[in-house]
Amino acid sequence: MTETYRIGDLARLTDTKVVTIRYYESIGLMPEPERSAANYRVYAKAHLDRLRFVRRCRDLGFSLEQVADLAALSSDRQQSCHDVDSLTRMHLAEVEAKIADLNALAAELRNIGAQCKGGTTISNCRILEALDRSRKPA
């Protein structure tokens, strides 16, 4: 009576490739499911939930290792909320740092692009010179 899923179902429901689900199992991020007579993986709702959790964390940019940590924490409901919070905070700090870097990078790329106004051949285009700071001006 309990509804079950095959690996393809899980893949469709969570927008994950079949091979990726098997990969998660191989690294222990997904528990090993039951098998049918034909050796097919047979999943229960709990597996679906777990996979959704994993995928959502990945979308949020957590590494697989961090996801595993988060999942372990979540299974120990007596444990302090603090660990989960600090993991989230650390990750937020990483994300913010990356944004800052990328903003600086974008500014530089826009600047480099602006140098192209003049020439049409490489020899009088400034982009490469801008990319290569060590090159002396012609």
- Please name which of 101, 12, 77, 76 lies closest in space to residue 21, comparing C-alpha atoms: 12
Which CB sits closer to a copy of itself, 40 or 108? Answer: 108
DSSP states along 53-78: HHHHHHHTT--HHHHHHHHHHHH-TT
The residue within the footprint of a copy of itself, chosen from 9, 32, 65, 108 (CB under 8 A), is 108
Give which of DNA, a copy of itself, none residue 22 binds (C-beta under 5 to 8 Å, depending on kind).
Answer: DNA
| CA 23/CA 45 separation, integer angstroms | 19
User: How many chain residues are in contact with a copy of itself, going by CB under 8 A?
Assistant: 52
- Helices 64-75 & 81-114, crossing angle to 10 degrees? 160
Number of CB atoms found within 10 A of residue 16's CB? 19
Give which of a copy of itself, DNA, none residue 23 binds (C-beta under 5 to 8 Å, depending on kind).
Answer: DNA
Which CB sits closer to a copy of itself, 19 or 93? Answer: 93
- State the amino acid at position 10 in one-letter form: L
Near a copy of itself in 29-68, by CB under 8 A: 48-49, 52-53, 56-57, 60-61
| CA 4/CA 43 separation, integer angstroms | 5
The residue within the footprint of a copy of itself, chosen from 15, 39, 110, 137 (CB under 8 A), is 110
| CA 10/CA 38 separation, integer angstroms | 18
Which residues are near a copy of itself by CB under 8 A? 48-49, 52-53, 56-57, 60-61, 70, 73-74, 76-82, 84-85, 88-89, 91-92, 95-96, 98-99, 102-103, 105-106, 108-110, 112-113, 116, 119-125, 127-128, 131-135
